[in-house]
C-alpha cells in the first residue's frame, strides 16, 4: 500500500468518525453525600471543597443538604459562613424530603460554556417525585447540553436511600428506583442519569437486579463511605445511566484521576487525604465520572 493511499484511507476513516464525534456532548458529573451540609461545624470546609470541585466538574449532585437553599450562603446558615454559589454555577434545591427528619437534595450546574458545551435547565423543568415508597423521594432535574452542532437532553436524578435497621429497607427503595428510571425514560428524549448515595453496593442484586433487565448500567462499585478514622468502608455511591452496548446514548467513564474525589490529585487518595476529608468535610468521598451524551 502506498503512502498516499494509506493517507487517503486514514482521512476517509477519520471523516467517517467525525459525525459521531461531533454529536457527542461531554461533561463531568460529581455526586457527593455532604454529611449534614449546613448543620455542622464542617460547613466552611464543605463550602470550600465544593468551590474547589467546581473548577473541574460541571454538575454536582448533593445529598444530605440540611437547608432550604445553598447552605454556604450566609442567610441559609447560622454558622457564620457566607460563601456564594460557585462562580458560573446555579443551584437547584428540592423541596423538603422526609417528615420528622428532613433533608433536601441540591444540584449545582455550570451554566456558562466550558469545552464548547453549555448546560441549561430549560424552563426550570424538574420532576419532584412524591412517591410514598421512599423516605426521601428522588428529585430529577432536566438539562439541555448544547454544543454548536447539537443539543442533547438528559435527566439527572438525585437520590439518597434510607439506611434503616435492615438491609431489606435499602433494597426495597433501590428496587423502586427502577420505576423512577422507567418513568423518566419515557419523557423528553429518554436519557437518564441517577446519581447518589444508595446505601448498597452495586453487587447487591436484590436491590439492583432491575439494572440488568433494562438498557442501563451502574458504576462505579468502589469504596466511598469512610469510617470515623478515614478508612474506606463501603461502596454506597454510584450512578445509573441509560446504556446500550453499542453507541450508547449515555456513557459514564472513570476519569484519569480515578472515580473518587477528596480534593487531592493523587489517585488513589493517600490515607492522610482520606483522614483529613473525613475529619473536615464528609463521611463519604465524592464520585466523579466523565459523561458523554449522544443524540
Partner 1 sequence: MLNRGYDAVRSAAWPRGRFALDALAVFAVIVSALLDCGAAAAQTFRYPQNCDEVTGDEGDDPVVRMSIDAGEPIYRDYNVISIGDDTPPQWGIVMGPYDAGKTYNIYATYTPFLTSDTKVTFMEEGSAVYQPLPDPGDTFAGREAIRNSWTVIIVDNQNRSIPEAYVDFIPEFKGSSPYTMQADESGKIVLRCVQDARSYAITVYDKDHKYLYDGFFPVTDGTGSSRSQAYR
CB of 206 to partner 1, least distance (A): 11
CB of 36 to partner 1, least distance (A): 5
CB of 264 to partner 1, least distance (A): 13
CB of 235 to partner 1, least distance (A): 7
Taken as a whole, the chain contains a residue count of 295
C-alpha cell at 24: 457527542
Angstrom distances, CA of residue 287 to CA of 29, 51, 223, 225, 239: 8, 16, 10, 11, 9
Backbone φ and ψ for 258, nearest 5 degrees, come out as 95, 165
Backbone φ and ψ for 221, nearest 5 degrees, come out as -115, 65
Q: Which is nearer to partner 1, 149 or 229 (CB)?
A: 229
The footprint of partner 1 (CB under 8 A) covers 33, 35-36, 39-42, 45, 64, 68, 78, 96, 98-103, 135-136, 162-167, 201, 204, 223, 225-229, 231, 233-235, 272, 275-276, 279-280, 283
The closest alpha carbon to 240, from 286, 146, 285, 177, belongs to: 177
Determine contact, residues 97/103, Cβ cutoff 8 Å: yes
The torsion angle over the Cα atoms of residues 127, 130, 135 and 140, rounded to 10 degrees, is 0
Q: Which is nearer to partner 1, 191 or 278 (CB)?
A: 278
Q: Which is nearer to partner 1, 115 or 233 (CB)?
A: 233
- Determine the Cα–Cα distance for residues 60 and 64; give it in Å rounded to an integer: 13
Q: Which is nearer to partner 1, 114 or 280 (CB)?
A: 280
CB of 126 to partner 1, least distance (A): 20
Q: Which is nearer to partner 1, 87 or 96 (CB)?
A: 96
- Determine the Cα–Cα distance for residues 226 and 235; give it in Å rounded to an integer: 10
CB of 168 to partner 1, least distance (A): 9
Q: Which is nearer to partner 1, 5 or 100 (CB)?
A: 100
β-strands 89-93, 126-128 pairing: unpaired
238 has which bridge partners? 196
Q: Which is nearer to partner 1, 136 or 191 (CB)?
A: 136
Give the other-Cβ count within 10 Å of 266's Cβ: 10
CB of 8 to partner 1, least distance (A): 54
Amino acid at each position: 500500500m502506498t503512502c498516499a493511499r494509506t493517507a487517503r484511507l486514514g482521512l476517509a476513516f477519520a471523516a467517517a468518525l467525525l459525525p459521531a464525534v461531533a454529536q457527542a456532548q461531554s461533561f463531568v458529573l460529581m455526586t457527593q453525600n455532604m454529611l449534614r451540609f449546613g448543620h455542622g461545624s464542617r460547613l466552611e470546609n464543605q463550602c470550600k471543597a465544593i468551590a474547589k470541585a467546581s473548577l473541574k466538574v460541571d454538575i454536582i449532585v448533593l445529598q444530605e443538604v440540611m437547608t432550604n437553599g445553598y447552605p454556604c450562603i450566609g442567610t441559609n446558615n447560622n454558622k457564620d459562613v457566607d460563601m456564594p454559589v460557585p462562580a458560573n454555577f446555579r443551584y437547584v434545591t428540592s423541596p423538603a424530603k422526609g417528615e420528622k427528619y428532613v433533608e433536601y437534595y441540591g444540584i449545582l450546574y455550570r451554566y456558562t460554556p466550558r469545552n464548547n458545551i453549555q448546560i441549561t435547565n430549560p424552563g426550570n423543568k424538574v420532576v419532584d417525585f412524591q412517591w410514598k415508597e421512599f423516605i426521601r423521594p428522588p428529585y430529577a432535574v432536566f438539562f439541555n447540553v448544547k454544543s454548536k452542532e447539537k443539543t442533547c437532553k438528559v435527566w439527572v436524578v438525585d437520590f439518597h436511600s434510607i439506611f434503616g435497621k435492615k438491609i431489606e429497607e435499602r433494597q426495597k427503595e433501590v428496587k423502586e428506583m427502577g420505576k423512577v428510571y422507567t418513568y423518566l425514560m419515557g419523557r423528553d428524549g429518554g436519557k437518564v442519569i441517577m446519581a447518589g448515595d444508595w446505601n448498597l453496593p452495586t453487587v447487591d442484586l436484590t436491590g439492583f437486579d432491575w439494572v440488568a433487565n433494562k438498557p442501563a448500567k451502574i458504576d462505579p462499585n468502589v469504596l466511598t463511605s469512610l469510617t470515623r478514622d478515614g478508612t474506606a468502608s463501603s461502596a454506597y455511591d454510584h450512578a445509573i445511566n441509560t446504556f446500550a452496548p453499542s453507541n450508547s446514548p449515555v456513557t459514564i467513564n472513570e476519569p484519569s484521576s480515578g472515580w473518587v474525589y477528596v480534593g487531592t490529585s493523587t489517585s488513589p487518595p493517600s490515607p492522610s487525604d482520606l483522614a483529613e476529608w473525613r475529619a473536615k468535610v464528609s463521611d463519604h468521598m465524592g464520585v466523579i465520572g466523565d459523561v458523554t451524551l449522544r443524540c
